[in-house]
Structures are given as C-alpha cells and as structure tokens.
Amino acid sequence: MDATIRKAAAQFGRQAAHYTTSRSHGSGDSLAVMVALAGLAGTERVLDVATGTGFNAFAFAVSARGVVAVDLTAAMLGEARRLAAERAIANVTFVRAVAGALPFGDRAFDVTTCRIAPHHFPSVPAFLAEVVRVTRPGGRVVVGDTISPEDPVLAAWHNRVETLRDPSHVRNYTAAEWQAFAEAAGLTVAAVDNTCRSRLTFGDWVTRGGTDPERVAALREAFAAPPPGAVAAFDLRGEGDALEFAWPITIVAAIRP
Ligand SMILES: C[S@@+](CC[C@H](N)C(=O)[O-])C[C@H]1O[C@@H](n2cnc3c(N)ncnc32)[C@H](O)[C@@H]1O
C-alpha cells in the first residue's frame, strides 16, 4: 500500500468516532452548496468518494435515487453505516475503496462528488482520472476541498500547521490549482464557489486529529505568531483551546464531456 494511503488509514482508523460528532463536517455550509451545484433531479446514481462518516453522501441522498459512498477506512465506514441507520437513510450503500482505484465500471454514475478529503490523497490527477472514468458523459462532478491562499507564505504556514496536527495531510492546493486539475482531467468547469469555510476551534481540531502533546505545543506557538495576513485570511480569533479559525474551501462543479 502507498505510504500516504497507509498514513491516512492509520489516522482515520484511530480517530473515526470524533468525525461523527464534528460540527465542521456535519453541518458545514459547503454541504448545501455542493448539492445545489449538482443540479439533482431525483433520478441520479451518485458516487461520494472518501465519504468519511457520510455527511456529504447523506446530503446528496435526499435529492438523488441513490448514493454509493466509498472510503479507505473501515472504521469511518462503520460510523457512517451506524449514522445512516440512526437517521433511517435507506438509499446509501457503502464500499471500502481508495480514490485512485475505484471498483466500479466505466460510466457507472450520473454524478460524482467528494468533499474535504483530496488534501489527503497521494495524487489528485489519479483521483480525477478515476472520477472521469466512472462518471457518464454529460454527468456532473462536484468536488470541494480546503484550500490555501495564493500567498506562498500563508500557504506554507497553512500546510505546516495542518501537517503538524495530522501527519496524513498531503497538501491544501489553491483555488487556481483546483481549477487547473479539473481542466487537465478533461472536465468542463461549469461553476466555482469560493465562499464556503470549514470553521474550526483549536481544542476540537487537535482532539479530532489525535495530535500528541508535543505537536499541540508546536501548534500553539505557530498560532501565537502567525505570518502577516493570516488573521484576515483564516479569520483567526480568540485564544487557547477556544481559538477559532476558518479554512477556505473551493468547490468546483464540472461536466464530464
Ligand atoms: C475529512 S474526512 C472526509 C469528510 C467527508 N467527505 C465529509 O464530507 O464529511 C477524510 C476521509 O478521507 C478518507 N481518505 C483519505 N485518503 C483516502 C484515499 N486515498 N482514498 C479514499 N479515502 C481516503 C479518510 O479515510 C477519511 O474518511
């Protein structure tokens, strides 16, 4: 198994239960925007890649025929299955798979989506190649992920704190890089939304990350002396465990030609 995938499986296998109760994942503003950009009519077969505990799959399931939700990590899928049963959601099925090797036939889905996960993938181009393969011509692709600002100093600080908190973090790309990834995959970009935020609180964020005390101390130092522009770019406010911040999200909606 690829080293990046091994790290993500270990990280999310350990921390799955914390994601079930995560406010930023369960009720973030990106859920509604992603579903709206998919333009669902109610008849679609939807694929949700790296579903985690299923929040994006559940949001799509309300307006689609059915959703197949895949994830690398058995423990995350276990939480997702439990939540689906608790909420009496009957049109979502779960499959264990990696984003770069999806176990589905060509053109199997009308809509493919993925939310707040590709920054963990070893290769975004390999993931998007699979997305293009399994989505039917004319189908929609809606991908949302946390992004870094264009400013290289802010982007380096952002990726450094993310990796300190969770060693399975690969990279937050920029909005421009996401658009370029989609175009390079052969998708026709129909809309880009950069208005959503993943709103986080320091104490919850490091608990959900399972971050060890040494790294938590290094993170406190990094947040105490952020680079110029970080307060505005990440909406930093408060202090200690109550420190709040917001990671920007880009959502790319595209047509599979
Ligand atoms: C932050 S959670 C996902 C959040 C979820 N999509 C949501 O909207 O609430 C990231 C998920 O990505 C999964 N993951 C990481 N790398 C993966 C890969 N290469 N293939 C499939 N899933 C992966 C992890 O197991 C984890 O469940």
Q: Is residue 116 in contact with ligand 1, taking CB distance under 6 Å? A: yes
Tell me the CA–centroid distance for residue 117 and ligand 1, in Å. Answer: 5
Ligand 1: distance of its center to the CA of 226 in Å?
28
What is the predicted pLDDT for the residue at 50?
98
pLDDT of residue 18: 85
Ligand 1 centroid–CA 217 distance in Å is 26
Instruction: Please report the DSSP string for 207-229 in residue order.
Output: HHHT--HHHHHHHHHHHHSPPTT
CA of 72 to the centre of ligand 1 (A): 7
Tell me how far apart the alpha carbons of residues 189 and 201 are, in angstroms, rounded to a whole number: 33
CA of 50 to the centre of ligand 1 (A): 4
Reduced to 3 states, what is the DSSP secondary structure of residue 6? helix
Question: Ligand 1 test: best mutation among 73, 104, 249, most atoms within 8 Å of CB?
Answer: 73
| Protein residue with least CA distance to atom 27, ligand 1 | 52
pLDDT for residue 122: 97
The answer, yes or no, to whether any atom of ligand 1 lies below 6 A from the CB of 25, is yes
Cα-to-centroid distance, 229 and ligand 1 (Å):
29
Ligand 1 atom closest to the CA of 31, numbered from 1: 8
| Closest approach atom of ligand 1 to CA 122 | 19
The C-alpha torsion from 165 through 170 and 175 to 176, rounded to 10°, is: 150
- Give yes or no for residue 252 CB within 6 A of ligand 1: no
What are the structural domain ranges in the chain?
3-150+167-199+247-255
Angle made by CA atoms 91, 107, 29, in degrees to the nearest 5:
50
For residue 56, the ligand 1 atom closest to its alpha carbon is 8
Q: With beta carbons less than 8 A apart as the criterion, state whether 75 and 83 touch.
A: no
Give the distance (Å) from ligand 1 centre to CA of residue 52: 5
Q: What is the pLDDT along the chain (257 residues), one digit of tens a residue?
A: 789 999 999 989 988 888 878 777 877 899 999 999 999 999 999 999 999 999 999 999 999 999 999 999 999 999 999 999 999 999 999 999 999 999 999 999 999 999 999 999 999 999 999 999 999 999 999 999 999 999 999 999 999 999 999 999 999 999 999 999 999 999 999 999 999 999 999 999 999 999 999 999 999 999 999 999 999 999 999 999 999 999 999 999 999 99
Distance 139 CA to ligand 1 centre (A): 22
CB 103 within 8 A of CB 97: yes
Cα–Cα distance for residue pair 170/215, rounded to 1 Å: 17
Predicted structure pTM score: 0.97
> Ligand 1 pocket, 24 CB below 6 A?
no
User: Which CATH fold topology does 3-150+167-199+247-255 show?
Assistant: Rossmann fold (3.40.50)
pLDDT for the residue 52: 97
